[in-house]
Amino acid sequence: MKAMILAAGKGTRVRPLTYDLPKPMIPVLGKPVMAYLVEHLALHGVADIMVNVSYLHKKIQDYFEDGHRFGVNIGYSFEGDIVDGQVVPHAVGSAGGMRKIQDFSGFFDETTIVLCGDAIIDLDITRAVKEHKEKGALASLVTMQVPMDKVSGYGVVVTNNEGRIISFQEKPSQLEARSNWASTGIYIFEPEVLDLIPSGSEFDIGSDLFPLLVQKGLPFYAIQHPFNWIDIGVVTDYWLVMQQMMQGFFPSMPIPGKQVKPGVWVGLNVHIDWEHTQIEGPVYIGAGSRIDKNTRIVGPTWINSGCHIQRDSTVIRSILFDYTRIAQGYEIVERIVCGEYCVDRNGRMVHMDDDSCDIIWTDAREKVVYPQNYAYARL
């Protein structure tokens, strides 16, 4: 068995997290989403993995390299071109990307599991592939049952009594939905599927290939195994997932670092004024971070590496990306601070220079003189 990870998209629905990171590189408990997928594939004996890349492709390739530290072999297929000396990403669709690889090398010469690079799963891949083969399927789609009042956020799969897929509904209303089994973006293909994808054109798995399989009456089945599926569809999902993980909803994904107090984990080289600081877990404080006196941190809160919380500040149920400095005397509640942007739990985004912004943060790598007072910074 081989694997394909789809990682070429721009992740527009999770901006601003993806202004500087491709979506598969969004950190979850300090590790890129895609790293969990690679590790899970290795656990099930999948050694050869292809990844299609486009937007900010180097960040994925520089992190995963050839896959040797994960115990697998990883190859890449870049989708784009060079225009006027500049690399210009241009994704060719999930199925088009697979056909590009097949035309180049014939990589897909055995059963292949295809995964979206922006979700974390614990699917029993071995069992799913076994069912796929037992049914004699040419293609299989792993589905998950979702509440009927949530179907409008998913592509819905309609099957017959044998589990054969007969139609799809893309984000139907609750009244129109003929099923509440959602596509999880996990597929199993036999090599013959690649012959259905036209060469040199944009072609999508969900909107183009799957309807074609149904139209031709080919053996195309849904797999309905229970498993955990953590999908970061929009930026508000990311905030909620991190809150749940830090509260222990997913025991197989422990908080990294050293637990120095009940509910408080830290990385290396962290400076905290313990005597004059109030920390209520669960809280993670990343390597090289500094927490000044008279600060209050309430969990679930994740503070990435190299951050600085200045004195008299409060951070409540929030996520701070690398090198975030929260200015003296400010309170941040239920927000994600990512580079120059801040997003609240409802998805409202502000830039650090916006007049409407009610907090001040800077890059912690910039030198600061103590004591620092930001009280008049916006005057």
pLDDT one-digit tens code per residue, 36-45: 999 999 999 9
Cβ contact 278:272 at 8 Å: no
CA triple 124-238-249, angle to 5 deg: 55
Q: Is the pTM of this model over 0.75?
A: yes
> What pLDDT is attached to residue 316?
95
For 82, the 3-state DSSP assignment is: strand
264: tokens are: 């408080």
Beta strand extents in 201-323 (DSSP E only)? 220-223, 229-231, 258-261, 264-266, 271-272, 278-280, 283-285, 290-291, 296-298, 301-303, 308-309, 314-316, 319-320
Do you find a cis peptide bond into 27, omega within 30 degrees of 0? no
Nearest partner of 181 among 194, 169, 195, 189, judged by Cα: 169
pLDDT of residue 369: 57
- CA quadruple 169, 170, 171, 172: dihedral sign: negative
CB distance 291 to 323 below 8 Å: no
Q: Determine the pLDDT at residue 27.
A: 87
The phi and psi torsions of 212 (rounded to 5 degrees) equal -65, -40
Q: Which residues pair with 221 in a beta bridge?
A: 140, 164
List the chain residues with pLDDT less than 70. Answer: 369-379
Distance CA 65, CA 159 (A): 40
Query: CB atoms < 10 A from the CB of 304, how many?
Result: 22
Note the pLDDT of residue 375: 44
Q: Which of 99, 128, 75, 78 minimizes the C-alpha distance to 193? A: 99
Residue 377: the pLDDT is 41
- Give 327's DSSP letter: P
Tokens of 23: 């979506």
pLDDT of residue 370: 53
